Amino acid sequence: MNYYTYWSISELPSNTRSFSVFFWVAIFSFILWALIKKFKRGNDDYEKVILLWTIGLVFSISTIMFFYLQFYTTDTTEKRIQNLFNSPNVLVVEGKISNLESFRPISRRKSVTIEKFKVDSIDFQYEDALLGGFNTFTKANNGVLKNGVNVRITYGKRYHEILKVEIAQ
């Protein structure tokens, strides 16, 4: 049976490279510094000078961190994810989804939806996160995961944490 990857831990937004964050902070702070330099009027309270020095400091630190992270450190994120997929604590189960159940627990986090289902007698559960809109998997009741759909799920052995969901074509 042919499967396509519906969701994978390697595609998470948390895999943003840290040097790119510092790059955008440096760009934004430089533009902000230039705007303050050009349009802010200086007066006796030194507000313009304080703003320019503060934003200049942010620009300097973010530029230094960008170059450090880009050229002097090695990003091992992809290697760690592949090691995780190949570890003996990761199992793969294939089968049809059954007992799909979606509910909102009564708690102070009322906007969280929990979805439970079984695949070949293995129980899985996930919930909408605060940042769930950033990927399609965490959106409960999305219409893709339904009873009877053939899936292959790669999961952690100990807590059944879902690492990858593949759906049959």
Q: Measure Cα distances from 147 to 102, 156, 168 in Å.
A: 12, 22, 13
Residue 63 lies in a domain: yes
Structural domain of residue 108, as residue ranges? 3-12+88-168
Give the CATH number of the domain where residue 142 resides: 2.40.50
Residue 81 lies in a domain: no
**Residue 86 CB coordination number (10 Å):** 8
Q: Report the number of distinct structural domains present in the chain.
A: 2
Q: Render pLDDT for 59-94 as a digit per residue (tens, 0 to 9).
A: 999 999 999 988 998 877 778 888 888 899 999 999
7 and 33 co-located in one domain: no
Spatial separation of the C-alpha atoms in residues 137 and 7, rounded to whole Å: 6
pLDDT of residue 41 exceeding 70: yes
pLDDT of residue 140 exceeding 60: no
Confidence of residue 106 (pLDDT cuts 50, 70, 90): low
Supply the pTM of this predicted model.
Answer: 0.62
97 and 159 co-located in one domain: yes
Residue 82 lies in a domain: no
pLDDT of residue 143 exceeding 90: no
Residue 55 lies in a domain: yes
| Span 124-133, average pLDDT | 63
Name the one residue in this structure whose structure tokens are 């042919």.
2
Residue 135 lies in a domain: yes
